[in-house]
């Protein structure tokens, strides 16, 4: 009987310690780094793995769009989700005299760099959704060998496609004339056909609440960012995880990316992490595993 009690006590203590360690590992902390222009960059962090996954949101969004990934991946990795300047809880006061507006892809990349350096990270995978794709591409150039790979989420459908100024101006004018209405209509149109209507409404309204001047300036920054030429400057693995809402041209990517692979998540639109979170996390986990195997 004493032996049974002893064994039971050991098992209980081990299970309790494991459970406590898991809870501590899953604890999400909030911290702040300061970008090149002293704008505060707020981010969330969870987990304590040697490899760090840094998630960067899309145009008009914020770090909360990665809550599911913070919780899911922090059992194995350190996971960070960033609010870029002008988004979420990060600072709004940015102006770069060199180009007249601070809301460029390169400056957003500096926000990511500030967080990575604040955390003293040397083994990083950058994950960017939509606008976050160009941002992490720029950040990778700035961070050098600290970045082991890039993962782009539903972006870079054709990195060689170039829009004329006339095409951009027509697109831009809709948002300039009535930002809230144009944003809601646009965001609603890029969800999958079977997306939950409440989710579509919530996200559309959230992005439409982004400060108009920052959102419009970010459009200009994206238009001026030449994706193919920027990919030519890096030599790390790049993975695309895109939805099937819009076709992806892998051949154009292969011309500029030496180590490239594409995965498609079917039946979703522009927000696969929210539309099919379980399938999305599973596919992303497979990508991480193959990159680190």
Identify the pLDDT of residue 99: 61
What pLDDT is attached to residue 98?
61
Whole-angstrom distance, CA of residue 285 vs CA of residue 113: 24
Instruction: Give the model confidence (pLDDT) of 12-48 as tens digits.
Output: 444 444 444 444 446 899 999 999 999 999 999 999 9
pTM of this prediction? 0.90
Q: So what's the pLDDT on residue 74?
A: 95
User: Which among 82, 78, 111, 79 is positioned nearest to 94, based on CA atoms?
Assistant: 111
Distance of CA 194 to the CA centre of its chain: 23
Please give the domain boundaries of the chain with CATH numbers for all domains: 28-292 (3.40.50.1820)
Q: Rounded to the nearest 10 degrees, how much is the dihedral formed by the CA atoms of 53, 54, 55, 61?
A: 160
Mean pLDDT of each 10-residue bin along the chain, 293 residues long: 41 42 66 97 96 98 97 96 98 77 94 98 98 98 97 97 94 97 97 95 97 95 95 97 97 97 97 97 96 89
How many Å separate Cα 97 from the centre of its chain?
A: 27
- Do 84 and 56 touch, CB atoms closer than 8 A? yes
What per-residue confidence (pLDDT) applies to 238?
Answer: 98
Which pair of tokens denotes residue 23? 């809870």
- Which region holds residue 156: left if phi is over 0, alpha if psi is between -120 and 50, else beta? left
Residue pair 163/93 in contact by the 8 Å Cβ criterion: no
Q: What is the pLDDT of residue 1?
A: 46
- Tell the residue number behind the tokens 């870079």, with chain if given: 156
């Amino acid at each position: 009987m004493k032996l049974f009690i002893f064994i039971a006590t050991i098992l209980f203590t081990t299970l309790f310690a494991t459970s406590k360690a898991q809870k501590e590992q899953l604890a999400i902390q909030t911290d702040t780094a300061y970008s090149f222009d002293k704008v505060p960059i707020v981010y969330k962090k969870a987990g304590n793995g040697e490899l760090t996954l840094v998630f960067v949101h899309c145009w008009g969004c914020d770090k909360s769009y990665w809550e599911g990934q913070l919780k899911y991946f922090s059992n194995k990795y350190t996971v960070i989700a960033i609010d870029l300047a002008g988004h979420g809880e990060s600072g709004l006061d940015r102006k770069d005299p060199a180009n007249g507006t601070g809301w460029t892809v390169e400056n957003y990349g500096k926000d990511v760099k500030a967080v990575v350096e604040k955390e003293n990270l040397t083994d990083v995978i950058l994950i960017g959704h939509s606008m976050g794709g160009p941002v992490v591409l720029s950040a990778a150039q700035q961070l050098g060998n600290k970045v082991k790979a890039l993962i782009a989420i539903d972006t870079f459908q054709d990195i060689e496609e170039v829009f004329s100024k006339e095409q951009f101006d027509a697109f831009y004018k809709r948002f300039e004339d009535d930002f809230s209405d144009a944003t809601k209509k646009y965001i609603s149109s890029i969800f999958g056909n079977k997306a939950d209507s409440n989710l579509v409404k919530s996200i559309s309204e959230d992005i439409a609440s982004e400060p108009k001047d920052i959102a419009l300036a970010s459009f200009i920054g994206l238009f001026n960012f030449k994706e193919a030429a920027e990919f030519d400057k890096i030599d790390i693995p790049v993975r695309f995880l895109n939805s099937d809402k819009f076709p992806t041209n892998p051949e154009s990517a292969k011309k500029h990316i030496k180590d490239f692979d594409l995965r498609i998540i079917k039946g979703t639109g522009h927000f696969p992490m929210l539309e099919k979170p379980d399938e999305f996390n599973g596919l992303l986990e497979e990508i991480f595993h193959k990159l680190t195997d």
